Amino acid sequence: MGERRVCVVTGSSSGIGAATVRRYAREGWDVVVNYSREAAPAEAVAAECRALGAQALVCRADVAADADCRRLAAEVDARFGRADVLVNNAGTTKFVPARQLEGLAAEDFQRIYAVNVIGAFQMVRALLPLLQRQPGAAVVNVSSVASMMGIGSSLAYMASKGALNALTLGLARTLGPGVRVNAIAPGLVETPWLQAGLGAERYAASVEAYKARATLDAVIAPEDVADAAWWLGAGAAKTTGEVLLLDAGLRLSRG
Ligand SMILES: NC(=O)c1ccc[n+]([C@@H]2O[C@H](COP(=O)([O-])OP(=O)(O)OC[C@H]3O[C@@H](n4cnc5c(N)ncnc54)[C@H](OP(=O)(O)O)[C@@H]3O)[C@@H](O)[C@H]2O)c1
C-alpha cells in the first residue's frame, strides 16, 4: 500500500470532477480519473494531475454498470492498494421543461436514476472494502440545488438528486463510524454540462437570470465545488449525513 492518500472521483474528465481531482492532486494525494465515453479528456486531466506531482490512474467505467464499478475498484486496489475518499460526481440528465410532463417517459427516469442514484450506490459498494481499511475515509456525493428547490433540467433529474440525498443520509448512518458520507448541492456551475444541454444563447440567459436571483450575484465555479469536496472528503472529521447547499445564496433569493 502506498503512503499517499488516494481519491477516486467519478466523471472526472470534465467540469466539477476534473476540478476535484486537480484539487486533491494539488494537496498531495494520488487520484483516479474516471469517464465513460471519451478517453482523451480524461488523459488530459490525468496529465494535469501528474504535473502537480500526483500519480493518476485513468479508468473507463460506466457507473451505471455494476461490473464496471467492481472492475474500477479492482484496478484501484491493484495500482494503489488503497482508497481514502470517493467522490460520486458522475451524473446525467434530460433537459425537459418541468411543465412538459409528456416529455418524460419512464425510461428517462430509469436511465437518469441508473447513473445518478444506482451508480453512486454501486460505487460505494464496490470501493467499501478499500475505504473501510482507511481511518478517516469518506464519501462525497455531488447532488444539486435541484433536489431542494424543485428547479433544474427536468423533474426526473430533480427526483434523482433527491434520492441521492436520501441515499447519503442512509449510508452515513450505516457506514459510521468508519466512513463519513456527505453530499454537496451546487447551484448553477459553469461547466460544459449546461452549455451543451441549453445551447449558447439559453445558457448565457440562464447565467444572467441566476445571478439576478442569487444573493451573492454569482454563479458557481467548478473550483468552488472542488473546495467543498476537499473539505468534506479530507477534513470535516465530525460531519456526516450533511447535504451542503452551495448556491451563492439562491435559496435566499433577492425576490
Ligand atoms: N453544471 C451544473 O450546473 C451542475 C449543478 C448541480 C449539480 N451538478 C452535478 O455535477 C456533476 C458533474 O457535472 P458537470 O457539470 O461537471 O458535468 P460535465 O462537465 O458534463 O462532466 C460530466 C462528467 O461525467 C462523466 N460521466 C457521464 N456519465 C457517466 C457515467 N455513466 N459513468 C461515468 N462517468 C460519466 C463525463 O465523461 P463521459 O462523457 O466520457 O462519460 C464527464 O467526465 C453531475 O452529477 C451533475 O448532476 C452540475
Instruction: Say yes or no: CB of residue 90 within 6 Å of ligand 1.
Output: yes
253 lies in some domain:
no
Note the pLDDT of residue 255. 57
From first CA to last CA, the distance across the chain in angstroms is 53
| Atom of ligand 1 lying closest to residue 63 CA | 32
59 lies in some domain:
yes
125 lies in some domain:
yes
Distance 40 CA to ligand 1 centre (A): 16
What is the CATH number for 201?
3.40.50.720
Retrieve residue 92's grid coordinates: 446525467
Question: Which pTM was predicted?
Answer: 0.98
252 lies in some domain:
no
Mean pLDDT (10-residue bins), the chain, 255 residues: 94 98 98 98 98 98 98 98 98 96 98 98 99 98 97 97 98 98 98 92 96 97 98 98 98 80
Instruction: Say yes or no: CB of residue 38 within 6 Å of ligand 1.
Output: yes
Q: How many domains does the chain have?
A: 1
Q: 230 by DSSP, 3-state: which?
A: helix
Note the pLDDT of residue 2. 81
Q: Rounded to 5 degrees, what are φ and ψ at 151?
A: -125, 170
- The rounded distance, in Å, linking the Cα atoms of 84 and 133 is 9
| Atom of ligand 1 lying closest to residue 38 CA | 40
The full DSSP string for 134-203 is STTEEEEEE--THHHHS-SS-HHHHHHHHHHHHHHHHHHHHHTTTEEEEEEEE-SB-SHHHHHHH-HHHH
47 lies in some domain:
yes
Instruction: Say yes or no: CB of residue 192 within 6 Å of ligand 1.
Output: yes
254 lies in some domain:
no
255 lies in some domain:
no
Instruction: Say yes or no: CB of residue 104 within 6 Å of ligand 1.
Output: no
The verdict on whether 157 is a catalytic residue reads: yes
Nearest CA to ligand 1 atom 45: 91
- The rounded distance, in Å, linking the Cα atoms of 96 and 20 is 28
In our burial notation (b when 16+ CB lie closer than 10 A, e otherwise), range 74-91 reads ebbeeebebbbbbbbbbb
Domain that holds residue 161: 6-246
